[in-house]
Amino acid sequence: MERITVLGAGSWGTALAIVLAENGHDTLLWTHRQNQADEINNQHTNKKYLPDTTLPANLVATANLAEAAQHATTIVVAVPTKAIREVCGNLAQLRQEKALFVHVSKGIEPDTLLRISELMRESLGTDLIEDIVVLSGPSHAEEVVLQHPTTVTAACENIAAAEKVQDMFMNGYLRVYTSEDVTGVEIGGALKNVIALAAGITDGLTYGDNAKAALITRGLAEITRLGVKMGGNPFTFAGLTGMGDLIVTCTSVHSRNWRAGNMLGKGLPLEEVLEQMGMVVEGIRTTKAAHQLAQKYDVAMPITAALYDVLFSDKTPKEAVDELMIRMKKPEIDEFQ
Ligand SMILES: NC(=O)C1=CN([C@@H]2O[C@H](COP(=O)(O)OP(=O)(O)OC[C@H]3O[C@@H](n4cnc5c(N)ncnc54)[C@H](OP(=O)(O)O)[C@@H]3O)[C@@H](O)[C@H]2O)C=CC1
Ligand SMILES: O=C(CO)COP(=O)(O)O
């Protein structure tokens, strides 16, 4: 049994805390809201994020970050990308000993262009970090809490740390693989949200299945082009954290990114979409970061560029799709150039 803290009591942090508590670990779930900690401890629910789920009685919550920092030898970071710098920075003030960190967030910090593990190293400082393992793959919280069969990958350059995390999370409904390709896993997980927004848009435009298959496939091509140039293993992008997560996010009604894209495709303005969602839509900020990465690494990412124009330059979704279709002719396979 491990002592584990999960930081962030949204849908994914809560679902993973349930898995860990059910696996017999001494699990403490940190939220920045006292009323949510009280609800979890007293009613064993988290109605805002997982309305139909009863949490196990042995899952305890706290709103005290110092208590959360002291509790564990393993710390799972499950807040959205935009909160990681602040939460890890605060945590670093409250803990002296090293911990094994696991992160499950799917994003890239705009402007700095740091991947999540890089962002954590910068905000935690190296003295606190035993290892950082990224846990990623096709895994909607809504299905994990129903114990529907789900597969994810734990990635770390130190494979022993990835195997330790594999053991912590794995059970009869959550199968965990390992990988050493942190860059490939983090890039695949972050960028699939960009393509899922685009897939939601074409569904909102009622363009049907051909368009969605094209987005998934050509989206994977541009994610792979960038990811390989950043040092990722090309095979990672064909795996769970690449193609697998792209499929689930582009096709599932659970996906926040697909749902937000769908509303945009139906003509709702971005501000209204975000207001209606009430949960994190990582793909919006990641589109900005991915567009910057494409320029930095000189990689063609036409779908990302088109989405960037829709989100940040007032191009209509229909104009963006029309322009994608009449781009210069080219062969399909370009060997990641
Ligand atoms: N949902 C899913 O199925 C999956 C999500 N992920 C990834 O996990 C990460 C978290 O997503 P998810 O759980 O869905 O997000 P949600 O929107 O469901 O929840 C986000 C949680 O983080 C909290 N939070 C936001 N800002 C801060 C802050 N500054 N300090 C402390 N807590 C904060 C929110 O609190 P508040 O209620 O106050 O807003 C909320 O509890 C994302 O990167 C996502 O891509 C990965 C795999 C699956
Ligand atoms: O990453 C996810 C599933 O693997 C969750 O995607 P959404 O944030 O789009 O819901």
- Tens-digit pLDDT profile for residues 103-144: 999 999 999 999 999 999 999 998 999 999 999 999 999 999
Q: Mean pLDDT score of the chain, rounded to an integer?
A: 97
- Tens-digit pLDDT profile for residues 305-314: 999 999 999 8
**What is the atom index within ligand 1 of the atom nearest the CA of 83?**
29
CB of 245 shorter than 6 A to ligand 2: yes
Mean pLDDT of 225-253: 98
Domain ranges of the chain: 3-180, 183-325
In this structure, are residues 324 and 302 in contact, taking their beta carbons and an 8 Å threshold?
Answer: yes
How far is it, in rounded angstroms, from Cα 241 to Cα 189? 6
The pLDDT of residue 334: 76
CA of 256 to the centre of ligand 2 (A): 6
The pLDDT of residue 337: 54
Mean pLDDT of 181-198: 98
Mean pLDDT of 213-225: 97
- What SS3 class is residue 142? helix
CB of 29 shorter than 6 A to ligand 1: no
- Give the pLDDT band of residue 280 (cuts 50, 70, 90): confident
Predicted complex: ipTM over 0.90: yes
The pLDDT of residue 88: 98
* Greatest Cα pair distance in the chain: 61
- Tens-digit pLDDT profile for residues 32-47: 999 999 999 999 999 9
pLDDT more than 70, % of the chain? 99
* CATH T-level assignment (fold) for domain 3-180: Rossmann fold (3.40.50)
In this structure, are residues 183 and 159 in contact, taking their beta carbons and an 8 Å threshold?
Answer: no
- Tens-digit pLDDT profile for residues 141-158: 999 999 999 999 999 999
Residue burial 202-239, b: 16+ Cβ < 10 Å; e: rest: bbbbebeeebbebbbebbbbbbbbbbbbbebbeebbeb
Return the CATH architecture of domain 183-325. Answer: Orthogonal Bundle (1.10)
pLDDT at 82 over 80: yes
- Give the pLDDT band of residue 336 (cuts 50, 70, 90): low
Would residue 192 show up in a list of annotated catalytic residues for this protein?
yes
Give the DSSP per-residue string, 73-125. SEEEE-S-HHHHHHHHHHHHTT--S-EEEEE----B-TTT--BHHHHHHHHH-
- β-bridge mates for residue 150, sequence order: 174
Name the active-site residue from 47, 98, 192, 296.
Answer: 192
CB of 255 shorter than 6 A to ligand 2: yes
Which amino acid is located at 72 in the chain?
A
Query: Is residue 98 annotated as involved in ligand binding?
Result: no
- Lookup: tokens for 262: 């769908």
- Give the pLDDT band of residue 17 (cuts 50, 70, 90): very high
